[in-house]
Amino acid sequence: MYPTYPYAGRTYAFDPAAPIDISLPLAPGDDQVNCFWAEPVQFDTIRVGSFVGSVALGGSTNYQRIHVTPHGNGTHTECYGHISPDPAVTLNQCLRRFMFVARLVSVAPRPQPNGDLVVLLADVQAALAAQPDRSIPEALVLRTLPNDPAKRRRHYSGTNPTYVEPALAEFLVEHGVQHFLLDLPSVDREEDAGQLLAHHAFWQYPSQPRYNATITELIFVPDEVPDELYLLNIQITSLELDASPSKPVLYALRALPTG
Protein backbone atom coordinates (compact mmCIF):
# COMPACT_ATOMS: atom_id res chain seq x y z
CA MET A 1 0.00 0.00 0.00
CA TYR A 2 1.42 3.35 -1.07
CA PRO A 3 0.44 6.69 0.48
CA THR A 4 -2.06 8.76 -1.50
CA TYR A 5 -2.52 12.42 -2.36
CA PRO A 6 -5.77 14.05 -3.57
CA TYR A 7 -5.79 16.35 -6.60
CA ALA A 8 -8.55 17.72 -8.82
CA GLY A 9 -11.19 15.32 -7.54
CA ARG A 10 -9.03 12.22 -7.96
CA THR A 11 -6.73 10.26 -5.68
CA TYR A 12 -3.13 9.54 -6.64
CA ALA A 13 -0.62 7.11 -5.14
CA PHE A 14 3.11 7.74 -4.89
CA ASP A 15 6.13 5.78 -3.74
CA PRO A 16 8.04 7.68 -1.00
CA ALA A 17 10.98 5.31 -1.54
CA ALA A 18 11.42 6.51 -5.16
CA PRO A 19 12.36 10.21 -4.97
CA ILE A 20 13.59 12.14 -8.00
CA ASP A 21 16.02 14.77 -6.74
CA ILE A 22 16.09 17.75 -9.14
CA SER A 23 18.50 19.88 -7.12
CA LEU A 24 22.12 20.69 -7.88
CA PRO A 25 24.48 20.16 -4.93
CA LEU A 26 26.58 22.77 -3.19
CA ALA A 27 30.25 21.84 -3.23
CA PRO A 28 33.49 23.82 -3.08
CA GLY A 29 35.53 24.50 -6.18
CA ASP A 30 35.23 26.16 -9.57
CA ASP A 31 33.58 23.21 -11.32
CA GLN A 32 30.15 23.86 -9.77
CA VAL A 33 27.22 25.75 -11.31
CA ASN A 34 27.54 29.49 -10.77
CA CYS A 35 25.75 32.66 -11.83
CA PHE A 36 25.53 36.41 -11.21
CA TRP A 37 29.24 36.63 -10.45
CA ALA A 38 28.89 34.81 -7.11
CA GLU A 39 32.06 33.50 -5.51
CA PRO A 40 32.43 29.72 -5.52
CA VAL A 41 31.14 27.84 -2.49
CA GLN A 42 33.81 27.56 0.17
CA PHE A 43 34.17 25.22 3.16
CA ASP A 44 36.54 26.43 5.90
CA THR A 45 37.87 24.26 8.70
CA ILE A 46 37.33 25.85 12.13
CA ARG A 47 40.42 26.16 14.30
CA VAL A 48 40.19 27.22 17.96
CA GLY A 49 43.34 26.96 20.07
CA SER A 50 44.66 23.43 19.71
CA PHE A 51 41.37 22.22 18.22
CA VAL A 52 41.16 21.62 14.48
CA GLY A 53 37.77 20.80 12.96
CA SER A 54 39.02 18.08 10.63
CA VAL A 55 39.35 14.40 11.46
CA ALA A 56 41.73 14.06 8.49
CA LEU A 57 44.01 16.66 10.13
CA GLY A 58 43.89 14.99 13.53
CA GLY A 59 40.78 16.57 15.03
CA SER A 60 38.11 14.62 16.87
CA THR A 61 35.29 15.88 14.65
CA ASN A 62 34.70 17.66 11.36
CA TYR A 63 33.61 21.25 12.08
CA GLN A 64 33.37 23.63 9.13
CA ARG A 65 32.05 27.02 8.14
CA ILE A 66 30.25 27.40 4.80
CA HIS A 67 30.42 30.43 2.51
CA VAL A 68 27.53 30.37 0.03
CA THR A 69 25.50 32.86 -2.03
CA PRO A 70 22.00 31.39 -2.37
CA HIS A 71 21.11 33.29 -5.56
CA GLY A 72 24.40 32.42 -7.25
CA ASN A 73 25.39 28.95 -6.05
CA GLY A 74 23.34 25.86 -6.80
CA THR A 75 19.61 25.24 -6.59
CA HIS A 76 17.80 27.88 -4.57
CA THR A 77 14.24 28.92 -3.76
CA GLU A 78 13.21 32.56 -3.33
CA CYS A 79 10.19 34.57 -2.22
CA TYR A 80 9.07 38.10 -3.09
CA GLY A 81 11.44 39.39 -0.42
CA HIS A 82 13.98 39.16 -3.26
CA ILE A 83 12.54 42.37 -4.72
CA SER A 84 11.12 43.97 -1.56
CA PRO A 85 12.84 46.42 0.82
CA ASP A 86 11.11 44.79 3.79
CA PRO A 87 13.63 42.55 5.65
CA ALA A 88 10.73 40.77 7.39
CA VAL A 89 9.68 39.15 4.09
CA THR A 90 11.73 35.96 4.24
CA LEU A 91 11.37 32.60 2.55
CA ASN A 92 11.17 30.91 5.93
CA GLN A 93 8.02 32.94 6.68
CA CYS A 94 6.49 32.76 3.20
CA LEU A 95 6.88 29.03 2.51
CA ARG A 96 4.74 27.29 5.11
CA ARG A 97 3.70 24.22 3.09
CA PHE A 98 6.17 21.91 1.43
CA MET A 99 4.16 19.37 -0.62
CA PHE A 100 2.43 20.30 -3.88
CA VAL A 101 1.17 18.72 -7.07
CA ALA A 102 3.43 19.83 -9.91
CA ARG A 103 3.44 19.47 -13.66
CA LEU A 104 6.69 19.05 -15.57
CA VAL A 105 6.90 20.54 -19.07
CA SER A 106 9.84 20.61 -21.48
CA VAL A 107 10.20 23.59 -23.82
CA ALA A 108 12.90 24.86 -26.18
CA PRO A 109 13.63 28.59 -25.95
CA ARG A 110 13.38 30.66 -29.10
CA PRO A 111 15.93 33.15 -30.43
CA GLN A 112 14.74 36.76 -30.44
CA PRO A 113 15.69 39.56 -32.85
CA ASN A 114 18.20 40.88 -30.29
CA GLY A 115 19.88 37.47 -30.07
CA ASP A 116 18.42 36.49 -26.68
CA LEU A 117 17.03 33.01 -26.06
CA VAL A 118 13.60 33.25 -24.41
CA VAL A 119 11.04 30.69 -23.21
CA LEU A 120 7.75 31.88 -24.70
CA LEU A 121 4.28 31.57 -23.24
CA ALA A 122 2.90 30.08 -26.49
CA ASP A 123 5.35 27.18 -26.33
CA VAL A 124 4.56 26.43 -22.68
CA GLN A 125 0.84 26.50 -23.52
CA ALA A 126 1.46 24.06 -26.38
CA ALA A 127 3.42 21.73 -24.07
CA LEU A 128 0.59 21.82 -21.53
CA ALA A 129 -2.01 21.15 -24.21
CA ALA A 130 -0.06 18.10 -25.41
CA GLN A 131 -0.44 16.32 -22.07
CA PRO A 132 -3.48 14.06 -21.50
CA ASP A 133 -4.52 15.89 -18.35
CA ARG A 134 -4.37 19.57 -19.22
CA SER A 135 -5.01 20.81 -15.71
CA ILE A 136 -2.43 23.20 -14.27
CA PRO A 137 -1.64 22.45 -10.62
CA GLU A 138 -0.13 24.83 -8.08
CA ALA A 139 3.45 24.14 -9.18
CA LEU A 140 5.05 24.14 -12.62
CA VAL A 141 8.49 22.65 -13.33
CA LEU A 142 10.14 23.89 -16.53
CA ARG A 143 12.88 21.87 -18.26
CA THR A 144 14.52 23.76 -21.11
CA LEU A 145 15.66 21.96 -24.25
CA PRO A 146 18.13 20.76 -25.26
CA ASN A 147 18.67 19.30 -21.80
CA ASP A 148 22.45 19.61 -21.77
CA PRO A 149 24.04 17.86 -18.74
CA ALA A 150 26.54 20.75 -18.72
CA LYS A 151 23.81 22.72 -16.93
CA ARG A 152 24.99 20.94 -13.79
CA ARG A 153 28.30 22.85 -13.79
CA ARG A 154 27.83 25.76 -16.14
CA HIS A 155 29.24 29.19 -15.30
CA TYR A 156 26.47 31.54 -16.44
CA SER A 157 27.88 34.91 -15.40
CA GLY A 158 28.23 37.30 -18.32
CA THR A 159 26.71 34.87 -20.86
CA ASN A 160 23.19 36.38 -21.07
CA PRO A 161 21.53 33.00 -20.39
CA THR A 162 18.01 31.98 -21.41
CA TYR A 163 15.11 33.55 -19.50
CA VAL A 164 11.30 33.58 -19.70
CA GLU A 165 9.01 36.20 -21.13
CA PRO A 166 6.96 38.14 -18.56
CA ALA A 167 3.73 36.97 -20.25
CA LEU A 168 4.49 33.45 -19.03
CA ALA A 169 4.72 34.70 -15.44
CA GLU A 170 1.37 36.46 -15.86
CA PHE A 171 -0.16 33.26 -17.25
CA LEU A 172 1.03 31.27 -14.23
CA VAL A 173 -0.54 33.81 -11.89
CA GLU A 174 -3.84 33.70 -13.79
CA HIS A 175 -3.92 29.90 -13.42
CA GLY A 176 -3.09 29.87 -9.73
CA VAL A 177 0.45 28.53 -9.99
CA GLN A 178 2.17 29.29 -6.69
CA HIS A 179 5.55 27.66 -7.29
CA PHE A 180 7.63 27.98 -10.44
CA LEU A 181 10.77 25.85 -10.81
CA LEU A 182 13.19 26.08 -13.74
CA ASP A 183 16.67 25.01 -14.82
CA LEU A 184 17.88 28.55 -15.49
CA PRO A 185 19.73 31.07 -13.30
CA SER A 186 16.79 33.47 -13.36
CA VAL A 187 13.32 34.04 -14.78
CA ASP A 188 14.62 37.40 -16.02
CA ARG A 189 17.38 38.60 -18.31
CA GLU A 190 20.82 38.68 -16.69
CA GLU A 191 21.11 42.45 -17.26
CA ASP A 192 17.81 44.27 -17.68
CA ALA A 193 18.47 47.62 -15.97
CA GLY A 194 16.81 46.36 -12.81
CA GLN A 195 13.36 45.89 -14.35
CA LEU A 196 12.95 42.23 -13.28
CA LEU A 197 9.69 42.07 -15.23
CA ALA A 198 8.99 38.35 -14.78
CA HIS A 199 9.83 38.49 -11.06
CA HIS A 200 7.42 41.39 -10.56
CA ALA A 201 4.73 39.75 -12.69
CA PHE A 202 4.92 36.39 -10.89
CA TRP A 203 4.86 37.91 -7.41
CA GLN A 204 2.44 40.71 -8.42
CA TYR A 205 4.73 43.06 -6.54
CA PRO A 206 4.17 45.72 -5.28
CA SER A 207 0.44 45.97 -6.10
CA GLN A 208 -0.77 42.66 -4.60
CA PRO A 209 2.21 40.63 -3.34
CA ARG A 210 1.74 36.86 -3.54
CA TYR A 211 3.08 36.06 -0.10
CA ASN A 212 3.22 32.27 -0.47
CA ALA A 213 4.51 32.11 -4.05
CA THR A 214 8.08 30.96 -4.73
CA ILE A 215 10.53 30.69 -7.60
CA THR A 216 13.16 27.95 -7.62
CA GLU A 217 16.08 28.36 -10.01
CA LEU A 218 19.02 26.22 -11.16
CA ILE A 219 17.31 22.85 -10.93
CA PHE A 220 18.16 19.94 -13.24
CA VAL A 221 15.60 17.38 -14.42
CA PRO A 222 17.17 14.26 -16.00
CA ASP A 223 16.04 13.24 -19.50
CA GLU A 224 14.50 9.99 -18.26
CA VAL A 225 11.92 11.86 -16.17
CA PRO A 226 8.82 12.23 -18.42
CA ASP A 227 6.57 15.26 -18.69
CA GLU A 228 3.63 14.50 -16.41
CA LEU A 229 2.18 15.12 -12.95
CA TYR A 230 4.34 14.73 -9.83
CA LEU A 231 4.15 15.29 -6.14
CA LEU A 232 6.70 17.99 -5.34
CA ASN A 233 8.46 18.41 -2.01
CA ILE A 234 10.38 21.70 -1.64
CA GLN A 235 13.00 21.39 1.09
CA ILE A 236 14.73 24.52 2.37
CA THR A 237 16.90 25.65 5.27
CA SER A 238 15.22 27.77 7.95
CA LEU A 239 17.09 30.95 7.05
CA GLU A 240 15.34 34.25 7.70
CA LEU A 241 16.42 35.46 4.27
CA ASP A 242 14.70 36.13 0.95
CA ALA A 243 16.19 32.92 -0.49
CA SER A 244 17.62 29.60 0.63
CA PRO A 245 19.60 26.77 -0.88
CA SER A 246 16.94 24.17 -1.58
CA LYS A 247 16.30 20.56 -2.50
CA PRO A 248 13.16 20.08 -4.62
CA VAL A 249 12.20 16.43 -4.92
CA LEU A 250 9.61 14.88 -7.25
CA TYR A 251 7.56 11.72 -6.77
CA ALA A 252 5.74 10.12 -9.69
CA LEU A 253 1.95 10.09 -9.23
CA ARG A 254 -0.31 7.20 -10.28
CA ALA A 255 -4.02 7.85 -10.54
CA LEU A 256 -6.11 5.32 -8.64
CA PRO A 257 -9.32 3.90 -10.14
CA THR A 258 -12.46 5.88 -9.37
CA GLY A 259 -15.66 4.40 -8.00
> Mean pLDDT per segment of 10 residues, for the chain of length 259 residues?
93 98 96 96 97 98 97 98 97 98 98 98 96 89 97 97 98 98 98 97 98 98 97 98 98 91
Q: What would the CATH number be for the domain defined by 4-28+70-255?
A: 3.50.30.50
Q: How many helices (H) and strands (E) does the chain have?
A: 4, 18
Confidence (pLDDT) at 53: 98
Confidence (pLDDT) at 259: 67
pTM: 0.97
Phi, psi of 177 (to 5 degrees): -75, 120
Phi, psi of 83 (to 5 degrees): -125, 15
CA–CA gap between residue 179 and residue 213 (Å, rounded) = 6
Confidence (pLDDT) at 134: 77
Cβ–Cβ under 8 Å, residues 90 and 240: yes
Distance of CA 257 to the CA centre of its chain: 32
Query: How many other CB atoms are there within 10 angstroms of residue 67's CB atom?
Result: 12
CA–CA gap between residue 192 and residue 29 (Å, rounded) = 29
Domain ranges of the chain: 4-28+70-255
